[in-house]
Amino acid sequence: MQADSSARKRVLFLFSDTGGGHRSATLAMIEALGLEFPDTFDCKMVDVFRDYLPAPLRYAPEIYPPMTKFPETWAISYRTTDGKRRSRAVIRMLFPYVARAIRRLYRENPSDIIVSVHPLVNTAMLRTMKKHPTPFMTVVTDMVTTHAFWFDRRADLVVVPTDEAREVAIEYGIPAGNVRVVGLPTAERFRVPTSDPMAFRVRQGWRRDLPVILVVGGGDGLGPMEAVVKAINEAKLNATLVAICGRNEGLQQRLRDLPWQMPHHIYGFTKQMPEFMAASDMLVTKAGPGTISEGFIAGLPLVLYSRLPGQEDGNVQYVVKKQAGVWAPRPHQVVQAVASWVNDPAALKRAAQASRRVAKPDAAREIARIVADRAGVYAPLKR
């Protein structure tokens, strides 16, 4: 339904490319706004760190990937800044340094509603806005283990992916009525199922008669993905292995050069991830919230082989608790998990059903309706 208004509503999305999830979630919400309310919103994305903050903070998008290569060091920084008192102390220390930049950001980007998709932006922005309030929403893109930086009680609404994240939000002082469990926004192409997965297999040259093990390592093919693929290959499972290496061309070539013992297909970066997931039978991945959510929507059982300590611990626990997958931090454990599903189709089906039960494919659309409602556009919301 389009707004009966001569002026388009302006939505300012605050994010940063510190990890792929913030950008992809933002793009999913912008896409959903366009689908739900054509010609109603003007959406603008601002990378707060890169576009506005002073050095060295402006280099956070470049610093983040190397930091995640040292997970225990990352865990120390994550945990030592978490908690009400510690997070507030960090913010009090940093605010004088970023205040001028945040004021400029607010001044240069007038909007009818602000949607933050990054935890380190919220308090600074809300503190700056106190004399000139604009409706402010936080969309949390961590699935379960949510840092205190996400939560500022001055936000008009906090949208979270899971009930577990809602409990954390309330614990950190967000009024229960200001927290809504919606899910993680994912692109429309994941929401709309592929019409014929078997036809996709045929086009890719995959065998139709074997289960497909899809192994991914994120956009940069990071983590122990190579060791995982080698271990599955050496197990000689009666299945097809499909590995997506992202932008990691070196990994892609090394996997192609393996002495292969089973049907396999190696790919680089792809924009056809929904098709790959729909045509597969199980997903082997690191515990990033975006990929997990996409796997749920595709109804794929998950084998999680790595996670960022602190930030992604809860993701692992959530998947296991929901019986939608297993935690397998060693290559031989990954082999045991996928072999159990390859050899027991009934167990594979049960795990797939559990994965599908916790999927929230309509999250982006629902968030779009919430944004429209908060921006003064009529939007019938699901209650």
| pLDDT score of 5 | 46
| pLDDT score of 27 | 97
> Can you tell me the distance from the alpha carbon of 31 to that of 217, in angstroms, rounded to the nearest whole number?
25
Residues 170 and 200 occupy one common structural domain: no
Residues 166 and 211 occupy one common structural domain: no
Residues 174 and 233 occupy one common structural domain: no
Closest CA to 29 of 277, 274, 372: 372
Residues 262 and 291 occupy one common structural domain: yes
Residue owning tokens 């556009």: 377
How far from chain centre, in Å, is Cα 163? 16
Residue 182 belongs to domain spanning: 9-186+361-374
| pLDDT score of 219 | 63
The pTM of this model reads: 0.92
| pLDDT score of 65 | 76
Give the contacts of 17 (CB within 8 A, at least 6 positions apart). 23, 47, 50, 61, 64
Residues 170 and 260 occupy one common structural domain: no
- Note whether 312 and 74 are within 8 A (CB): no
**306-to-11, 266, 283, 311, 314 alpha-carbon distances in Å:** 35, 20, 13, 12, 12
> Can you tell me the distance from the alpha carbon of 95 to that of 149, in angstroms, rounded to the nearest whole number?
13
Whether residue 299 lies inside any domain: the answer is: yes
Closest CA to 312 of 186, 87, 159, 161: 161
| pLDDT score of 107 | 93
**For the purposes of burial, counting CB atoms within 10 Å of the CB of 336, is it exposed (0-12), middle (13-18) or buried (19 or more)?**
middle
* CATH number of the domain enclosing 148: 3.40.50.2000
Whether residue 49 lies inside any domain: the answer is: yes
Closest CA to 371 of 146, 118, 157: 157
| pLDDT score of 156 | 95
| pLDDT score of 20 | 63
> Can you tell me the distance from the alpha carbon of 246 to that of 215, in angstroms, rounded to the nearest whole number?
11
Whether residue 215 lies inside any domain: the answer is: yes
> Can you tell me the distance from the alpha carbon of 355 to that of 165, in angstroms, rounded to the nearest whole number?
18
3-state helix/strand/coil string of the chain: CCCCCCCCEEEEEEECCCCHHHHHHHHHHHHHHHHHCCCCEEEEEEEHHHHCCCCCHHHHHHHHHHHHCCHHHHHHHHHHHCCHHHHHHHHHHHHHHHHHHHHHHHHHCCCCEEEECCCCCHHHHHHHHCCCCCCEEEECCCCCCCCHHHCCCCCCEEEECCHHHHHHHHHCCCCHHHEEECCCCCCHHHHCCCCCHHHHHHHHCCCCCCCEEEEECCCCCCCCHHHHHHHHHHCCCCCEEEEECCCCHHHHHHHHCCCCCCCEEEECCCCCHHHHHHCCCEEEECCCHHHHHHHHHCCCCEEECCCCCCCCHHHHHHHHHCCCEEECCCHHHHHHHHHHHHHCHHHHHHHHHHHHHCCCCCHHHHHHHHHHHHCCCCCCCCC
Residues 366 and 353 occupy one common structural domain: no
β partners of residue 284: 215, 303
Number of folded domains that form the chain: 2
Whether residue 2 lies inside any domain: the answer is: no
Whether residue 383 lies inside any domain: the answer is: no
Q: From first to last of its 383 residues, what are the pLDDT tens digits of the chain? A: 444 445 899 999 999 988 768 999 999 999 999 999 999 999 999 999 999 999 988 888 888 877 777 778 878 888 899 988 898 899 889 889 999 999 999 999 999 999 999 999 999 999 988 777 899 999 999 999 999 999 999 999 999 999 999 999 999 999 999 999 999 999 999 998 777 999 999 999 999 999 999 999 876 656 799 999 999 999 999 999 999 998 899 999 999 999 999 999 999 999 999 999 999 999 999 999 999 999 999 999 999 999 988 889 999 999 999 999 999 999 999 999 999 999 999 999 999 999 999 999 999 999 999 999 999 886 655 54
- Note whether 283 and 302 are within 8 A (CB): yes
Residues 103 and 201 occupy one common structural domain: no
| pLDDT score of 330 | 96
Residue owning tokens 């200001």: 178
- Note whether 115 and 371 are within 8 A (CB): yes
Residues 328 and 365 occupy one common structural domain: no
| pLDDT score of 18 | 84
Whether residue 320 lies inside any domain: the answer is: yes
Whether residue 382 lies inside any domain: the answer is: no
Residues 369 and 351 occupy one common structural domain: no
Residues 27 and 120 occupy one common structural domain: yes
Residues 210 and 283 occupy one common structural domain: yes
**82-to-95, 202, 257, 287, 307 alpha-carbon distances in Å:** 17, 49, 44, 20, 18
Residues 214 and 322 occupy one common structural domain: yes
Whether residue 1 lies inside any domain: the answer is: no
